[in-house]
Amino acid sequence: MKAVRIPRVEAEKVRRLAEKTGAKDKNRLIVTRGEFVEIPIYDGYEELFSQYEIIQQENPVFKKKADLLHVLKPLIPENLHHLIPRSYKIVGDIALVKIPHELESFAELIAEKIMEIHPRLKAVWRDFGKEGMLRRPHLQLLSGEGSETLHREFGCVYRLDVTKVMFSPGNLGEKMRLVRLVRNGETIVDMFAGIGYFTIPLAVHTKARRIYSIEINPDSYHYLLENIQLNRAENVITILGDSMKVTPEGVADRVVMGHIFCHEFLQVAICALKPEGGVIHYHESVPEAVIQRPVERVKNAAEKAGRKVEITGFRKVKNYSPGVVHVVVDAKIV
Ligand SMILES: C[S@@+](CC[C@H](N)C(=O)[O-])C[C@H]1O[C@@H](n2cnc3c(N)ncnc32)[C@H](O)[C@@H]1O
């Protein structure tokens, strides 16, 4: 569990940044140790605080109300304690929790306790993961009611139905990083736009000239259009269709490939770049044992297209599953 360690005099500035960006770990308290303050942050946000010291917190202090484990321990047999969910996702006013099958008979109890911990929630859904290339969620209602919500993040607002489309709060650090890389006047192609995960912050926080936003799933596309309106994004051209077939060619300074299983689309992404070249942000979910695979895939695709490539960045976005990480490769292609 990470924290930013800073002298007291700088603490307020850093606290405000951590709160504003959603980087502050809401389950832990800010602690003062001597002349220093530790501000707890979620994994994936380290880069945002790169000018400060990042530490592994040795004695984190948890907010009592967020400690689901603490609340459930007296209610669940001891031999199952290690399976109690340590965390859950909150999207707008809905919680999504992964519950192992061994805790099947306690699923509703777990949901009720989450509702008690967060009285503003309207529903808790059990999260069975996402299916296929469309990343459709597989959920089951456990407590409360409703599946449509409004999620606020990084100065943007997203409307979505959690039963129809996914949302990864863990990708926030990557959205912020991307926004910082964009130069005024760029043309960007977002090949897997979803409900606007990247398109919306790019439209809101950059002076990109144009963003082509492509999405295949009509449910996601519906929310993409709605979120463009909600955020008053004016420079977005939306395309409903398969990015393998509809991605415009030769137009982009930057291509975002924000799908973790999209290596087959690399050639199309390269074709989307302007003839003088540009940058591709290629995402992949990769076992740590073959961690170089995404870089090799980008290099091979560029070579196949007869273009030169320079890998300018390679970073972990978040953990995907045990031994598997979600990474992003930045590649300059000319
Ligand atoms: C869910 S997003 C990935 C998550 C996102 N990067 C984030 O920050 O949370 C991937 C999107 O790509 C869309 N998609 C999958 N295959 C596609 C294709 N061939 N063309 C266009 N969109 C596609 C899916 O429907 C989905 O909405």
State the CATH number of the domain containing residue 108. Answer: 3.30.300.110
317 and 242 in one domain?
Answer: yes
Measure 208 CA to ligand 1 centroid, in angstroms: 21
Domain boundary among 146, 175, 204: 146
With b meaning 16 or more CB within 10 Å and e meaning fewer, what string describes 34-67? eeebbbbbbebbbebbeebeeeebeebeeeeebe
Pocket probe mutation, ligand 1, options 195, 215, 261, max atoms within 8 Å of Cβ: 215
Residue 283 lies in a domain: yes
95 and 131 in one domain?
Answer: yes
Closest C-alpha residue for ligand 1 atom 9: 168
286 and 251 in one domain?
Answer: yes
Total domains, the chain: 3
Measure 259 CA to ligand 1 centroid, in angstroms: 5
What is the number of the ligand 1 atom nearest to the C-alpha of 283?
6
155-159, 166-170, 207-211: segment of lowest average pLDDT? 166-170
CATH number at residue 276: 3.40.50.150
Checking if the pLDDT of 269 tops 90, the result is yes
pLDDT band at 169 (very low <50, low <70, confident <90, very high): confident
Q: The domain containing residue 35 runs over which residues?
A: 2-56
- 24: which DSSP letter? B
Supply the mean pLDDT for the chain: 94
For residue 166, give Cα distances in angstroms to 28, 198, 262.
Answer: 26, 13, 17
Q: What per-residue confidence (pLDDT) applies to 46?
A: 87
Q: What per-residue confidence (pLDDT) applies to 248?
A: 98
Q: What per-residue confidence (pLDDT) applies to 64?
A: 57
Residues in contact with ligand 1 by the CB-under-6-Å rule are 133-135, 166, 168, 171, 192, 194, 197, 214-217, 220, 242-244, 258-259
pTM for this one? 0.82
Residue 154 lies in a domain: no
255 and 109 in one domain?
Answer: no
Closest C-alpha residue for ligand 1 atom 27: 194
Measure 84 CA to ligand 1 centroid, in angstroms: 31
71 and 52 in one domain?
Answer: no
Q: What per-residue confidence (pLDDT) applies to 170?
A: 81
201-227 average pLDDT score: 98
Closest C-alpha residue for ligand 1 atom 18: 242
What is the number of the ligand 1 atom nearest to the C-alpha of 174?
8
186-196 average pLDDT score: 98
Q: What per-residue confidence (pLDDT) applies to 63?
A: 72
Kindly tell me the number of DSSP H helices and DSSP E strands found in the chain.
9, 17
Q: Which residue, 245, 257, 324, is CA-closest to 297?
A: 257
Q: What per-residue confidence (pLDDT) applies to 75?
A: 95
Closest C-alpha residue for ligand 1 atom 24: 134
Measure 160 CA to ligand 1 centroid, in angstroms: 14
% of the chain residues with pLDDT over 70: 99
Q: What per-residue confidence (pLDDT) applies to 67?
A: 81
Measure 16 CA to ligand 1 centroid, in angstroms: 32
175-186 average pLDDT score: 96
Q: What per-residue confidence (pLDDT) applies to 65?
A: 54
238-257 average pLDDT score: 98
**What is the distance between the alpha carbons of residues 228 and 222, in angstroms, rounded to a whole number?**
10
14 or 169: which carries more pLDDT confidence? 14
Longest dimension (CA), the chain: 64
List, for residues 61-117, the tens digit of each pLDDT value: 777 555 899 899 999 999 999 999 988 999 999 999 999 999 999 999 999 999 998
Measure 166 CA to ligand 1 centroid, in angstroms: 9
Local structure of 205: helix, strand or coil: helix
320 and 246 in one domain?
Answer: yes
Q: What per-residue confidence (pLDDT) applies to 41?
A: 93
The structure tokens listed for 144 are 């409360």
**What is the distance between the alpha carbons of residues 36 and 52, in angstroms, rounded to a whole number?**
12
**What is the distance between the alpha carbons of residues 322 and 175, in angstroms, rounded to a whole number?**
24
253-282 average pLDDT score: 98
What is the number of the ligand 1 atom nearest to the C-alpha of 214?
21
179 and 80 in one domain?
Answer: no
Pocket probe mutation, ligand 1, options 135, 189, 213, max atoms within 8 Å of Cβ: 135
Checking if the pLDDT of 286 tops 90, the result is yes
What phi, psi does 79 have (nearest 5°)?
-65, -10
